[in-house]
Amino acid sequence: MERKEQILKYAEEIEENIIQFRRLLHQHPELSMKEYETSKRIAEELRRLPGMEVYTDLAGGTGVMGVLRGKLPGKCILLRADIDALPVEEENGLEFCSVNPGCMHACGHDAHASWVLGAAMILSQMQEALPGTVKFVFQPGEEMGRGAKEMLEGDHILENPRVDMAFAAHAWPSVEAGKIAIARRYAFGCPGAFSIVIKGKGGHGSWPHLAVNPIMVAGDICTRLPRILSERIDAVEPRVISIGAIHAGVPGVGNVIPEECTMNGTIRATDMEVMKQLAAEIERVVKSCCDLSGAEYEYKSHIGMYGVENDPAMTKLCLTAARKVLGGENAYVIEKDNLGGENFSEYSRRVPAAYLYVGIRNEKLAKPFSLHSPEFMLDESVLKKAAAVFAALIFEANESADFAF
């Protein structure tokens, strides 16, 4: 039996197991760095697999890693899944919907864990023919930017043996179910945030000339921020400034000019230097608007992770493996960069890496939705396909002359 057929056969055999496992995780979601039952269940499943070494209590308590050593010489390859849920109330009516109020797998991490576990199940049955070592990493805390650095720097998961390359995948609502896409360059961008407190002078709404209205200043800031993108940053650079919250005054009271107005927003780019420029330019606009109106301000910015940049050789590897498993028309490149944030960048900055988008869009199953939506819905037929692609990646990386290090 050819390897492709063997992988697909095993994927078919494990499908019901990983669907049920995914549903179990979905029904019992846990927030970042509190994934105690999730990690316990993952470890239990890994321990059932022949030849699997299991390491628990990583990343401060909820990280898990399985290590499978093949019988043939080869590379050490890391497959990563994030496992945390979000503080979202589920609204999709599933029979196995969350039983934890206000907590939901609205980003598909239950699926991520399930298809990496599925790859472990497939490869553990192929250990005699498996080259090298595979590390199956189940990382907590991704939604709050945690877990990755703790496992890499605290638990040293890239060592003993040293990891040669790393891969991850995300359930992607804009890609058709059954297909896999990969960004040509940036799978995720650099996320950042800023907060502004405008300090005016309160007063009566009928005497605005005796006050300094911080709401009016906030309006000026909102009007001028888009000009940063068009006039201060090179137009070829992907970049975003968004205001997500403005708060001032007492709800329902319109005749009182408040003392303060707070604003919160996000900035995104693919280049860290552009992120720093965005943060500085926003403060320049805030200062100018406040000076003009006689207001004072407090400004804070936070630039988080680097972008997840796909290594060109790893991209080629992923496409080759996915096309062999799924068919050539079912794996393709997306030319546009994505400005979402993901701390898989901690891996991709250390070793050659690539991040896949696993399509989950099925309009017969659910109307269009986005990540982090309370209506998030997964086409579970993709679980075995993603598991098979990950399994095929391991062999492709070891056998292709293009990836000889």
Residues catalogued as catalytic: 306, 380
What SS3 class is residue 138? Answer: strand
Nearest-angstrom CA–CA distance, 220 and 130:
62
Q: Which of 234, 349, 241 is nearest to 286 (CA)?
A: 241
Nearest-angstrom CA–CA distance, 151 and 58:
6
What SS3 class is residue 249? Answer: coil
Intra-chain end-to-end CA distance of the chain, in Å:
29
Question: Is the Cβ–Cβ distance between 113 and 379 less than 8 Å?
Answer: no
Residue type present at position 132:
G
Q: Which of 139, 8, 123 is nearest to 68 (CA)?
A: 123
Q: Which of 309, 86, 55 is nearest to 190 (CA)?
A: 309
Nearest-angstrom CA–CA distance, 23 and 32:
19
Q: DSSP letters of 19-76? A: HHHHHHHHHS---TT--HHHHHHHHHHHHTSTTEEEEEEETTTTEEEEEEE-SEEEEE
Pairing of strands 52-58, 63-69: antiparallel
Q: DSSP letters of 296-338? A: EEEEEEEE-PPPEEPPHHHHHHHHHHHHHHH-GGGEEEE-S--
Question: Is the Cβ–Cβ distance between 229 and 241 less than 8 Å?
Answer: yes
Question: Is the Cβ–Cβ distance between 100 and 30 less than 8 Å?
Answer: yes
Lookup: tokens for 158: 């890239």
Count the neighbouring beta carbons within 10 Å of the beta carbon of residue 15: 18
Per the listing, tokens 């961008």 go with: 189
Helix (H) or strand (E) holding 111: helix 109-124
